[in-house]
Amino acid sequence: MNKIEIQNVTVNYTEKNKSFTALEDVSFSVGTGEFVSVIGTSGCGKSTLLSILEGINAPSKGTITIDGKQVTGTGTDRGVVFQHYSLFPWMTARNNVAFGVKQIKKGISKTDRLNIADEFLEKVGLENFKNKYPSQLSGGMQQRVAIARVLAMDTDILLMDEPFGAIDAKNRTILQELLLNLWEGGGIQEKKTVVFVTHDIDEAILLSDRIIMMSGSPGQVYKEIRVDFDRPRNRAKLVQTREYGAFRNELLSLFYSDIVNKIGGSEVVL
């Protein structure tokens, strides 16, 4: 059964009496326990899409349902990770995670939420940093805390908006593998349903069961592509296969053919 159904969603923003269509007639679904990436160029409406899934923004037209129920606001079934680490600067890593847990599991005792925080900080390799404040942690470490927090919250759905976009290339690959391993069964209670926004094709292929490729101005679904590589996936092995190279090339050409269509040119210089 599908966990999330996005049906004919249009989002208009109004600024200075002018209306701007950020998303137009977007429809797709996400199965229970499925990992779906949304990929598209900057400004094509990816964050807008995530904000309506989160429930902080409402569609102008169309509907979103989760488990068959229409989304009308935020909910404890959804946890979010943003590109900017969004930790509370006045709380230690441990308290940031424990606070997230408290938001979802109302009434949980302090000991229990701190124990859960410790468990998840260990899963992301930060057991020795739990008493540090965000300003004492690198960007990559802060994003590990954000991941620990969202996993500790144990929501059915994870919404991730370019979570590794601000991280340097080496740490990005480490974090991608961490998320992949946790999601594929190395540490989360059950498989989460994930909507993961990125503009990185390799990241999308490595992590996803399916890729929703968007085109921009206004944001629309351009293509849906299944990613059928076996799991558990191993990046080093996967990228060496001929199938990976061919698939990646196919995705890249789709991605750029859309841009060529949109700008009306015949050639794109990379």
Q: Considering only residues 47 through 66, tell me which ones interact with Mg ion, judged by CB under 5 A.
A: 47
Minimum CB–partner distance for residue 139 and ligand ADP (Å): 19
Minimum CB–partner distance for residue 169 and Mg ion (Å):
20
Nearest to Mg ion of 47, 215 (CB atom): 47
Q: Are 195 and 4 in contact (CB under 8 A)?
A: yes
- Give the H/E segment covering residue 37: strand 35-39
Q: Considering only residues 1, 15, 110, 242, which one is a binding residue for ligand ADP as defined by CB under 6 A?
A: 15
Contacts for 227-235: CB closer than 8 Å, 24+ residues apart: 229/205, 231/184, 232/180, 232/181, 232/184, 232/185, 233/180, 233/184, 233/206, 235/173, 235/176, 235/177, 235/180, 235/206
User: Restricting to residues 34-73, which ones interact with ligand ADP according to CB under 6 A?
Assistant: 40, 42-48
- In the complex, least distance from residue 180 CB atom to ligand ADP, rounded to whole angstroms: 23
Q: 166: phi > 0 → left, psi -120 to 50 → alpha, else beta; which? A: alpha
Helix/strand/coil for 83: coil
Burial 79-114 (b: 16+ CB within 10 A, else e): bbbbbebebeeeebbbbbbbbbbbebbeeeeeeebb
Among the residue ranges 26-34, 42-50, 89-97, 249-257, the one whose residues contact Mg ion (CB under 5 A): 42-50
Nearer to ligand ADP, 96 or 215 (CB): 215
Partners of 10 in the beta sheet?
Answer: 61
Nearest distance from residue 221's CB to Mg ion, in Å? 16
- Residue 37 within binding range of Mg ion, rule CB under 5 A: no
In whole angstroms, how close is the CB of 18 to ligand ADP at the nearest point? 9
Query: From Mg ion, ligand ADP, none, which one binds at residue 15 (CB under 5 to 8 Å depending on kind)?
Result: ligand ADP
What is the strand order of the sheet 2-15 is part of? 18-31, 2-15, 61-66, 69-70
CB of 213 to ligand ADP, least distance (A): 12
Nearer to ligand ADP, 48 or 96 (CB): 48
42 vs 266, which CB is nearer to ligand ADP?
A: 42
Q: Which is nearer to ligand ADP, 15 or 190 (CB)?
A: 15
Distance CA 128, CA 61 (A): 48
Q: Which is nearer to ligand ADP, 40 or 163 (CB)?
A: 40
* Smallest distance, ligand ADP to C-beta of residue 15, A: 5
User: Helix, strand or coil for residue 51?
Assistant: helix
Q: Measured between alpha carbons, how far is residue 37 from residues 190, 193, 202 in Å?
A: 19, 11, 11
Question: What residues make contact with ligand ADP under the rule CB under 6 A?
Answer: 13, 15, 20, 22, 40, 42-48
Query: Which chain residues interact with Mg ion by CB under 5 A?
Result: 46-47
